[in-house]
Amino acid sequence: MRLTFRMAFLFSLAVLQSGSLNAQVPSEIAHPATHFVVVVDRSTSVTAAELAGYAELLSQLAQNVSFGDRITMFVAFGQGRRQGTTEITREMPPARNAGNPSQTERTALEGARASLNSATKALFKVPALEWTDLLTSLRQASEQYDTQDSRRRILLMLSDMLHCVPGEFCLDRKDFNGVHADWLFRQQANGTLPALHNACVVIVGVEQATQRDGLVREFWRSYFTAAGADFSAGRYRYAVQGLPWRDCWQRGRVDTH
């Protein structure tokens, strides 16, 4: 089954690289101003083919951000925040009328997109990490959102979502069968959950072939829901299909308070 998923991922990557996706998706897609926060998993459990797919997807994102969007991207932490991470932040220029921008505004946007696309390459030059600390990474992600910002929130996780840190539970274990019943309750009581209120979560890179994979998905469903995020099984996938964040643009205006 894992081979089948790998083949699906490689097929999706081939479609992206062939340019057929570009033919289906216009460079200008009207959408509300959005703050994208992107977390890129650089752990050793992610294959070279999967990383290539992540890189191509970020290139597509760079081509489709629009006036007033903000993009924050960083490499997932390996084990806590002490060693830091590679982070990229860009703000797209505004337009007086995003539906009918002037040529000067269009030129400014294209320049900002090109700068963003070039900057994303730094994320994939980071050496592979032995561990995957997604819990710390999600706290980092939540801190990027400004409570006074009315932009829609999209959290894009490019990861197999196999959190694994020494001394904590490890989702990468074949015998993982869930966390202790009161684990999430204790996280809520301790205030250690990220504040992801109304963030629309999109996850690319996860497998759903085994019972263990289903338990991993259920863990994240419970976790994101408890953190106030908008989690959907339809946005939890392995292969790259079009622009997976488009569903989030259809949601209503968020209340960030």
Mind spelling out the 3-state secondary structure of 136-196? HHHHHHHCCCCCCCCCEEEEEEECCCCCECCCCCECCCCCCCCCCCCHHHHHHHHCCCCCC
The letter for the amino acid at 13 is L
Question: Would you say 36 and 60 are in contact if contact means Cβ atoms under 8 Å apart?
Answer: no
d(Cα 153, Cα 23) in Å, to the nearest integer?
Answer: 27
pLDDT at 27 over 50: no
The residue with greater pLDDT, 254 or 206, is 206
Measured in whole angstroms, how far is the alpha carbon of residue 2 from the centre of its chain? 22
pLDDT at 189 over 90: yes
Q: Give me the pLDDT at residue 30, please.
A: 65
The residue with greater pLDDT, 242 or 202, is 202
Q: Give me the pLDDT at residue 16, please.
A: 47
Q: pLDDT tier at 167 (50, 70, 90 boundaries)?
A: confident
Q: Give me the pLDDT at residue 82, please.
A: 87
236: its two tokens: 């939890």
DSSP strand pairing (236-237 vs 152-158)? unpaired
Q: Which of 93, 160, 167 is nearest to 128 (CA)?
A: 160
Q: Give me the pLDDT at residue 4, please.
A: 46
Percent of the chain residues topping a pLDDT of 70: 86
Q: What's the pLDDT tens digit per position in 209-243? A: 999 999 999 999 999 999 999 999 999 999 877 89
For residue 152, the cross-strand partners are 34
Q: What's the pLDDT tens digit per position in 35-78? A: 999 999 999 999 999 999 999 999 999 999 999 999 999 999 99
Tell me the domains of the chain and their CATH numbers.
Answer: 2-14+32-94+104-249 (3.40.50.410)
Q: Give me the pLDDT at residue 21, please.
A: 39
Q: What's the pLDDT tens digit per position in 82-124? A: 888 999 999 999 999 988 999 999 999 999 999 999 999 999 9
Return the SS3 of 16: helix
DSSP secondary structure letters along 89-109: EEEPPP-S-TTS--HHHHHHH
Q: Give me the pLDDT at residue 227, please.
A: 96
The mean of the pLDDT values for the chain is: 87
Q: Give me the pLDDT at residue 250, please.
A: 77
pLDDT at 7 over 70: no
Q: Give me the pLDDT at residue 2, please.
A: 45
